[in-house]
Amino acid sequence: MRPDDVDAAERLTALAYGVERTEAARRRWSGRTGHLLTTDPGGCWVADGDGAVVGVAVALRRDLLWVLSEYAVHPDHQRRGIGAALLDAAVGYGAGCLRGLLTSRPDPQALRRYRRAGFTLHPTMRLSGVVDRSALPAVDGVRGGTAADLDLVESVDRRVRGATHRPDHAFVLASSRLLVCDLLTGSGYVFLADWGVERLAATNRAVAQRLLWAALAATTPGSPVDVRNLTSDQEWAVDVGFAAGLRLDHDAYLALRHLRPPAPYVPSTAFG
Ligand SMILES: CC(C)(COP(=O)(O)OP(=O)(O)OC[C@H]1O[C@@H](n2cnc3c(N)ncnc32)[C@H](O)[C@@H]1OP(=O)(O)O)[C@@H](O)C(=O)NCCC(=O)NCCS
């Protein structure tokens, strides 16, 4: 992939995923992919069909963890082997990585490809809705974080998922708020975007629940929030969501290779 392929890849993924992106969402997608093209040029691939982009795969490597961030083939070009070739290229970028992780859409062809590539598929749940503010408990021990807290973020990430998100901190901080909790009993963090929880990790469930409550309290009253990619390992989150008046639905899948679902952890859809 080259920088001038990014906008075509954005259009292609919207079509293949069947989503309508707002102008802001388009810019977010392109900004994120442009960022990953800088950090992981060897993981970003397009399939070229007569000069047009007909497929895309974007993968990243963080420490010894490989993550797939985007994967799509234009609907008019599917079932011709392009998807398999793109996934091979993206997986090849992870050579030497011990573990693999991706959040999959509920697309039967994609799930088939992921399983064939050796991933274990874990069904996920999604909490969504407007927070019942009368249910919010008083939470102490959680405060706003800054760049000075990124060492804490990295140490929690290493413990919970075996790899940091180091090259992505500045990008993620630009579009979300960091909350941290650092107690004698445990520590953790959450990145909160305007649509909901971008990512949350903690060294124990009690700290994770504090952070999730604090994040829900910090959302704009009356506006919907989303907490996604929850495997059954994240019951601590389901319990907070129910208490906060959110609804639970089936989401999609977390696909993992040589890795048990990290917990307590809410994975980022794009960064794992
Ligand atoms: C998932 C996706 C990228 C797969 O792309 P694709 O190009 O259709 O995949 P392929 O053609 O490589 O594989 C589809 C099947 O067609 C077969 N096939 C058909 N004709 C073929 C040909 N001429 N040459 C090679 N393989 C062919 C492949 O062998 C494969 O079958 P298999 O599963 O038994 O191996 C595509 O379906 C897609 O964009 N889905 C929607 C977007 C989405 O949800 N993406 C996942 C995001 S997490």
Residue 255 has pLDDT above 90, yes or no: yes
* Contact call for residues 99 and 258 (beta carbons, < 8 A): yes
Yes or no: say if 58 and 44 are a contact pair by the CB < 8 Å rule: yes
Nearest CA owner, ligand 1 atom 9: 83
Protein residue with least CA distance to atom 41, ligand 1: 16
Written out in words, the top-level CATH class of the domain with range 3-97 is: alpha beta
Per residue in 104-157, pLDDT (tens digit) is 999 999 999 999 999 999 999 999 999 999 999 999 999 999 999 999 999 999
CB of 180 within 8 A of CB of 210? no
What is the CA(222)–ligand 1 centre distance, in A? 41
Is the CB of residue 45 below 6 angstroms from any atom belonging to ligand 1? no
Task: Determine the Cα–Cα distance for residues 229 and 102; give it in Å rounded to an integer.
Answer: 10
If you take atom 17 of ligand 1, which residue's CA is the nearest one? 79
β-pair partners for 65: 62, 99
Strand partners, 248: 127
The per-residue pLDDT for range 190-246, each reduced to its tens digit, is 999 999 999 999 999 999 999 999 999 999 999 999 999 999 999 999 999 999 999
CA distance 190 to 160: 13
The three-class DSSP label of residue 165 is coil
For residue 55, the CA-to-ligand 1 centroid distance in Å is 11
What is the spatial distance between Cα 169 and Cα 153, in angstroms, rounded to a whole number?
Answer: 9
pLDDT tens sequence across 149-198: 999 999 999 999 999 999 999 999 999 999 999 999 999 999 999 999 99
Domain with CATH 3.40.630.90 in the chain: 127-266
If you take atom 26 of ligand 1, which residue's CA is the nearest one? 81
Percent residues over pLDDT 90 in the chain: 99
Report pLDDT for 50: 87
Nearest-atom index, ligand 1, CA of 114: 1
CA of 83 to the centre of ligand 1 (A): 5
Span 36-78, pLDDT tens digits: 999 999 999 999 998 999 999 999 999 999 999 999 999 999 9
Residue 107 Cβ < 6 Å to ligand 1 = yes
Give CA separation, 215 vs 170, 174, 265, in Å: 20, 17, 14
Portions of the chain given CATH number 3.40.630.30? 3-97
Fold assignment, 127-266: Aminopeptidase (3.40.630)
Cα-to-centroid distance, 38 and ligand 1 (Å): 27
Q: Cβ(79) to ligand 1 under 6 A?
A: yes
- In the 8-state DSSP scheme, what is residue 124? E
192 phi/psi in degrees, rounded to 5: -115, 120
Over the range 165-199, which residues count as b (16 or more CB within 10 Å of their CB) and which as e? Answer: bebbbebbbeebebbbbbeeebbbbbbbbeebbbb
